[in-house]
């Protein structure tokens, strides 16, 4: 997926507007870390664009982060739920 499509997908998911000055440094860091790869695609009637693809290492890292996020949100929900019951 190219950067603009990633930004639109985030916006459509109601995660806010992500500017290129924020998105592209993150994508570059992910590429440097081996979590995504990129290729240039020729543009039809316009400039080319860089397309990013998640790697196997990236999928593994995503699964780890997904589990960490799940653990965090579960603990936060438990804390918020039990906090209201204590005096």
What's the mean pLDDT in 3-12? 94
pLDDT band at 17 (very low <50, low <70, confident <90, very high): very high
- R_g (Cα) of the chain, nearest Å: 18
- Given a cut of 70, whether residue 85 has pLDDT beyond it is no
Q: Over the stretch 19-67, which tens digit does the pLDDT of each residue have?
A: 989 999 999 999 999 999 999 988 778 788 899 999 999 999 999 999 9
Q: Is residue 6 within 8 Å of 23, Cβ to Cβ?
A: yes
Task: Measure the CA dihedral 40/22/4/58, to 10°.
Answer: 60
Read off the pTM.
0.78
Distance CA(85)–CA(65), nearest Å, equals 31
């Amino acid at each position: 997926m190219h950067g603009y499509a990633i930004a639109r997908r985030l916006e459509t998911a109601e995660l806010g507007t992500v500017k290129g000055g924020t998105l592209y440094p993150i994508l570059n860091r992910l590429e440097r870390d081996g979590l995504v790869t990129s290729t240039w695609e020729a543009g039809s009637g316009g400039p080319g664009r860089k397309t990013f693809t998640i790697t196997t290492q990236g999928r593994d890292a995503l699964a780890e982060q997904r589990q960490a996020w799940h653990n965090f949100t579960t603990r936060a929900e438990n804390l918020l739920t039990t906090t209201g019951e204590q005096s």
